[in-house]
Each structure stands twice: as structure tokens, then as C-alpha cells.
Homo-oligomer: A and B are copies of this chain.
Amino acid sequence: MLKYQQIASEIQQDIEKDDLPQGTKLPVLETFMSKYKTSKSTVIKALSLLERKGLVYQVRGSGIFVRRRNRKGYISFSNQGFSDELSEFDITAKVMELDIRKPPEDVAFNLKIHPKEDVYYVRRIRYINGQTLCLEESYYNKSIVTYLNTEIATGSIFDYISNALGVKIGFSDLYFHIQKLNQEEAQQLQLKKGDPKLFVETIFYLNNGVPFDFSKVTYNYQQSQFFFQSTGHSL
């Protein structure tokens, strides 16, 4: 791990370990410099990383302070997309379908592939604390995600992709819609037709800009409590 990431990680652990409350002032930069035996720029980078993660805020001329959320039970979605810090919740998944097929037109378009190229198709129901969280349909570019099976898809597909396949995940585009459930979705989520849903289409890209996953997710509105932290202009 990079030095500034390591430092950021240690500072984060310290904050969480001591459960420092909102507004607590952290040591000054000089302290971190000598503590971690590194340069000022590296400390600044580490703290900027924590600021982007929403853990601290920095005030010029004053200091660096702890930033905390004040509500529990919300699924946080950071700049990495969702699924960060879901350790707080018990998330499981049931794989309904998994096969190799040719992509529909919209999928081919979003993955920037030819409609006759193969994709992995995965349909899952995900559960949070035993309740239905969402229906998920995902299409993976098979030339990048070369292999998948039900066992893998029952766990975290992304962990598998980044670890076993050594693929580097970069960024993603998310498109949110609020809609009404149709009959089929309602049945699978154990809700009623016409009930609200959050529908999210996401395109995931590798770090070199190549799209490798296009997914459509329908969320159970009863579980749809999300938390998002925005950070300042400059940083």
C-alpha cells in the first residue's frame, strides 16, 4: 500500500477506535509528520484522502476536525458507489440466473461492445438483515470478466473480479430513477404492484476507462435509506 494511503488508514483507525466525536481536533500536521516520519506533502495527501471519504474536514488556519454522520441504519454510498462499509449490515444474495448470452441493444451500447460479443448475465436477489434489499441484473463483458459461477455470484462479485482476476476497477456512472413496481418485481420483493422503487442503472469502468459491467438494480423502498456525504468545492 502507498505511504499516504497507509497513513490515512491508520488515522482512520485511530478515529474509529477512540470513537472521536464530531468536531474533535486532530493533531497538527507537524505531529503527523514526525509520527509517521514523512514529509508535509504526504501528510496533506493522506488527510485530503480522509476528507474526500467524509471522515474529516480541514479548516485553514485552524486545524483538522473529525466529521461524523449522526444517523444509524443508513446504507452509505461513497464515491466508490455503494457497498463500502456494509459490514454494519448482514448482506446476502441468492442467484436466480447465471449464463452466457448475447447482450440486448442497450447493454451492448453501454458496454461499448458489439451485440454478438458474449456477456455474463447474472440475476440476483440481495437481502439485508434477512429482508429483500434489491433485484439486480448485471451484464459483464466476458472478454474482461472471463469466468463466473453461481458460487462466486453468491458472494461479492467485485471482490472476485479485483482479487482473483486481477482487474483494476476504476470509476462508475450512476443513473437514478424513482418509479413504480410492476407485478413481477413486486412479487420478487414481496411488495405490491405500484409501490415505489428506486431504480439505478450503473456502468462500471476499469481504471483505463473500459466499461466492463452494466447493471440494473431495483431497490425495495422500505430498505432504501441511503446516506451520502458531499465535500467542499475546492478539495
A binding-site residues for B, Cβ under 8 Å:
2, 5, 22-23, 49, 52, 54, 57, 59, 62, 65, 67, 69-71, 74, 78-81, 110, 169-180, 194-198, 205, 207-209, 219, 221, 224-235
B residues within 8 A CB of A179? 196, 221
Give which listed residue, B71, B177, B219, B234, contacts A224 with CB less than 8 A.
B177
A230 lies within 8 A of B80 (CB):
yes
B224 lies within 8 A of A176 (CB):
yes
A196 lies within 8 A of B176 (CB):
no
B residues within 8 A CB of A52? 52, 235
Give which listed residue, B5, B74, B208, contacts A59 with CB less than 8 A.
B208
Select the residue from A62, A208, A209 with max chain B CB neighbours within 10 A: A209
Give which listed residue, B2, B59, B174, B175, contacts A207 with CB less than 8 A.
B59
Q: With the chains together, A52 CA to B235 CA distance in Å?
A: 9
Inter-chain pairs besides A57-B207, A174-B230, A198-B198, 14 sampled, C-beta below 8 Å: A57-B209, A59-B207, A65-B209, A78-B230, A79-B79, A169-B233, A170-B232, A172-B230, A173-B229, A174-B228, A175-B225, A176-B225, A179-B221, A207-B232
Determine how many copies of this chain the complex contains.
2
Q: With the chains together, A173 CA to B225 CA distance in Å?
A: 13
A227 lies within 8 A of B175 (CB):
yes
A57 lies within 8 A of B227 (CB):
no
Q: With the chains together, A5 CA to B2 CA distance in Å?
A: 26
Select the residue from A62, A170, A178 with max chain B CB neighbours within 10 A: A178
B residues within 8 A CB of A5? 234
B residues within 8 A CB of A54? 171
